[in-house]
Amino acid sequence: MDRSEKHVFVIASCLMLVFMSAVVYSVVGLGIGLPTCNTSVQPFTQGSLVERSPGRYEVQYVARMWAFEPATIEVPAGSTLDIYLTSVDVVHGFEVLGTNLNLMAVPGAVNNMQLTLKEPGEYRIICHEYCGIMHQNMNAVIKVTRS
């Protein structure tokens, strides 16, 4: 290895460290969750909302052309939602506007992410993956009431 090769190697290694630190910082420091794909969870075909404990909800979202189920849920401010998402037909997107929750609804798989909603209001969910002629009308809402 000559000198310039060593330089390239050192610079590349430093960059890898910087990138890895950025990922660790965003997860641990900023609390930005990463989506998880649960291959062991049986895909479901019906949407549901269950309160597991005070302020802690489990929501099972089903995406299908061209709606999400449940279409509307209501929870008090400060609630934490464990969101499970699947699709019964094609691939859909799932973004809760105004938050950093962004998932893909994949047939045969269940993706999951946690969301805490502190501010009261209406949070719209949109499909961000083109899924057919009514794609632009595919949405749902989370109503957050004052606790």
Task: Name the residues that contact ligand CUA, by CB under 6 A.
Answer: 66, 92, 127, 129-131, 135, 138
- Contacts of residue 129, defined as CB under 8 A and 6 or more positions apart, other chains included, come to 91, 92, 93, 104, 135
- DSSP code, position 35: P
Q: Are 67 and 138 in contact (CB under 8 A)?
A: yes
Pick 61 or 123: Cβ nearer ligand CUA: 61
- Segment holding 108, helix H or strand E: none
Closest distance of CB 89 from ligand CUA, Å: 9
Q: Which two tokens stand for residue 102?
A: 């962004």
40/46 with CB nearer ligand CUA: 46
Closest approach, Cβ 92 to ligand CUA, in A, equals 4
Task: Quote the least distance from Cβ 56 to ligand CUA, whole Å.
Answer: 28
Q: Shortest distance, CB of residue 20 to ligand CUA, whole angstroms? A: 34
Which is closer to ligand CUA, CB of 59 or CB of 75?
59
Nearest approach in angstroms of CB 138 to ligand CUA is 4
Whether the CA torsion 107, 91, 123, 80 is positive or negative: it is: positive
Query: Which residues, in sequence order, are CB contacts of 37 under 8 Å at separation 6+?
Result: 106, 109, 110, 111, 112
d(CA 83, CA 56): 11
Closer of 125 and 144 to ligand CUA (Cβ): 125
Give 57 or 95: the residue with its C-beta nearer to ligand CUA.
Answer: 95
